[in-house]
Structure 1
Amino acid sequence: MAVTISTISAIPATNTIIHPAITCGSITLQTAS
């Protein structure tokens, strides 16, 4: 997860658009894991 978040965060445009979904998805995946 950390790698994915870092990669996406490195792309400002993508991060700005998908940030909410990524944040919620990452928290959900980390919790599930």
Structure 2
Amino acid sequence: MYPASRTQGGFTLLELIVVLAISAVVVTMGTLS
């Protein structure tokens, strides 16, 4: 397990990846619609 090291934004690495993934899906859906 990786240590929950915090970034400057206060997000963990896993949380940052989740946010980026959701943002990518939203942008993709917005482009296709």
Normalization by structure 1: what TM-score?
0.49
Asked which structure has the greater RCO (Cα within 8 Å, sep 6+), the reply is 1
Larger Rg: 2
The answer to which structure has the higher helix fraction is 1
